[in-house]
Structure formats: structure tokens, C-alpha cells
């Protein structure tokens, strides 16, 4: 259930994120573009519905997503640019928001903001650019499961093996689509990684 996307375009964009000379605006834009590509990979085999639309040759039936069945949930704040990219593709979908706070000494996280609607019968798509220890994502998935989704998918840009193993252990039913699985963790930071994605995206000192 772990999908690392071996895609030359994604590899190129991830290198831009690694570059410390990439400015905040370009960093956010690049994250949004990678999110679109991850969405494409995760949903390329999705079952589409028949809908009737008015074309230049009259009413006809074509295939389309039922956007009301999807809820995209960024983990604040670093994942906000991912939501920007996905909203360009699925503008009529619903969004939910989760915020986690990590203890810098224990590296454990706790949930302090949950604005996720009821998910009964829906697909929840969690967005988090960094999957390091896996604690924040695992806790976020716990909270999302309490909303009774039909299924959960996670889109991640950079992941460490430790985080992936924790998600596999705690949530074996979750599919992860990852742009790049990096080498290791050091003091809870991904190596080589891209630094602190939230700080870099929003010029936080």
C-alpha cells in the first residue's frame, strides 16, 4: 500500500524543494505542482460516474468525478500549498483541516485543531509534505477515522523509512503515495530532506 512515484517530473520538482536558494513563493508553487502529480497517480484508476452535460452538440453523457465524495485534509500549516494545487483540479470538493503540535524534546505530537466534517461514505485524502517519524500523520489518521470515512489516502512529498513503517504498523489499511522516500532520520528530521517545509513555505524565522 506504499507507492513511491518514480517520475522524472516529480524528481525534478523535489530537487527544487531541496535547493536552499528556492524562495518561499517558488517553494509553495512547487509543492502545489507535486501535489497535483501525486493526486494524478493516486486517482488514475478511480471509478468515474456518468454525468449529463450540455455540449456544443446538445446534451451528452460523459465520465466525471463526483467531487462531493472527496474531502481533502491538509495537516497545517505546511500542507496548505498542497491543497492549493489539488483545489485547481477538484474545485468543488470539500476541505477539512487538522493541526498538530510537535514537542521538540520528545518529538511526540498532539492534535490541537480539528475542523474536519463528517466523512461517512466519503474518501478522505490527507495531505502532508513531510512524513518523518510518522507520529503526526498517525495521530491525524486516528482523528480522521473517528469521522467514519469510506477510505483514507495519504499524499506525501518526502518520507523517511521510519515514518512509513509506523504508518504500516498503525494503519495498514491506508494507501500512501509518496514523491520520494529519503535515506533516514536524524533528530526527527529527514535526511537529506528539504528542511522545515512550513518555515520555508511561509518564511517563518
What integer pLDDT is reported at residue 1 of this predicted model? 84
Sign of the Cα torsion 174, 179, 181, 186 reads: negative
What integer pLDDT is reported at residue 39 of this predicted model? 97
- Rg for the chain, CA atoms, rounded: 17
Tens digits of residue pLDDT in 11-26:
999 999 999 999 999 9
Give the domain ranges of the chain: 2-202
pLDDT band at 187 (very low <50, low <70, confident <90, very high): confident
What integer pLDDT is reported at residue 112 of this predicted model? 84
Listed in sequence order, the residues at least 6 apart from 74 whose beta carbon sits closer than 8 Å to its beta carbon are: 80, 82, 83, 95, 97, 98, 126, 127, 128
pLDDT band at 205 (very low <50, low <70, confident <90, very high): low
- The one-character DSSP state at 101 is E
Q: What is the pTM of this model?
A: 0.92
SS3 20: coil
What integer pLDDT is reported at residue 104 of this predicted model? 66
Tens digits of residue pLDDT in 72-121:
999 998 999 999 999 999 999 999 999 987 766 666 777 888 999 999 99
SS3 108: coil
Hey, which residues does 94 pair with through a beta bridge?
Answer: 71
Q: What is the mean pLDDT of the chain?
A: 93
Among left, alpha and beta (phi > 0; psi -120 to 50; other), residue 198 is alpha
Question: Any idea what the Cα angle at residue 98 is, between residues 85 and 131, rounded to 5°?
Answer: 70
Tens digits of residue pLDDT in 108-159:
777 888 999 999 999 999 999 999 999 999 999 999 999 999 999 999 999 9
Distances (CA, A) of 12 to 7, 128, 135: 9, 19, 28
2-202 to CATH, choices 3.40.50.2020, 3.30.450.40, 3.60.10.10, 1.10.10.60: 3.40.50.2020
CA 1 – CA 28 distance, rounded (Å):
27
Amino acid at each position: 500500500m506504499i507507492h513511491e512515484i518514480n517520475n522524472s517530473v516529480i524528481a525534478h520538482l523535489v530537487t527544487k524543494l531541496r535547493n536552499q536558494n528556492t524562495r518561499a513563493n517558488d517553494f509553495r508553487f512547487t509543492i502545489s505542482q507535486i501535489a497535483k502529480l501525486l493526486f494524478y497517480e493516486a486517482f488514475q484508476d478511480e471509478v468515474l460516474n456518468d454525468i449529463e452535460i450540455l455540449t456544443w452538440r446538445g446534451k451528452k453523457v460523459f465520465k466525471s468525478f463526483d467531487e462531493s465524495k472527496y474531502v481533502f485534509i491538509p495537516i497545517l500549516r505546511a500542507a496548505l500549498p498542497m491543497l492549493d494545487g489539488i483545489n485547481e483540479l477538484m474545485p468543488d470538493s470539500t476541505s477539512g483541516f487538522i493541526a498538530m503540535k510537535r514537542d521538540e524534546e520528545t518529538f511526540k505530537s498532539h492534535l490541537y485543531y480539528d475542523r474536519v466534517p463528517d466523512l461517512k461514505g466519503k474518501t478522505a485524502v490527507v495531505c502532508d509534505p513531510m512524513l518523518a517519524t510518522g507520529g503526526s500523520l498517525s495521530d491525524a489518521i486516528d482523528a480522521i477515522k473517528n469521522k467514519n470515512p469510506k477510505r483514507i489516502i495519504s499524499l506525501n512529498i518526502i518520507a523517511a523509512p521510519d515514518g512509513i513503517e509506523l504508518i504500516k504498523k498503525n494503519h495498514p489499511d491506508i494507501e500512501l503515495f509518496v514523491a520520494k522516500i529519503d535515506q533516514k532520520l536524524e533528530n526527527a528530521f529527514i535526511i537529506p530532506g528539504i528542511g522545515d517545509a512550513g518555515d520555508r513555505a511561509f518564511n517563518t524565522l
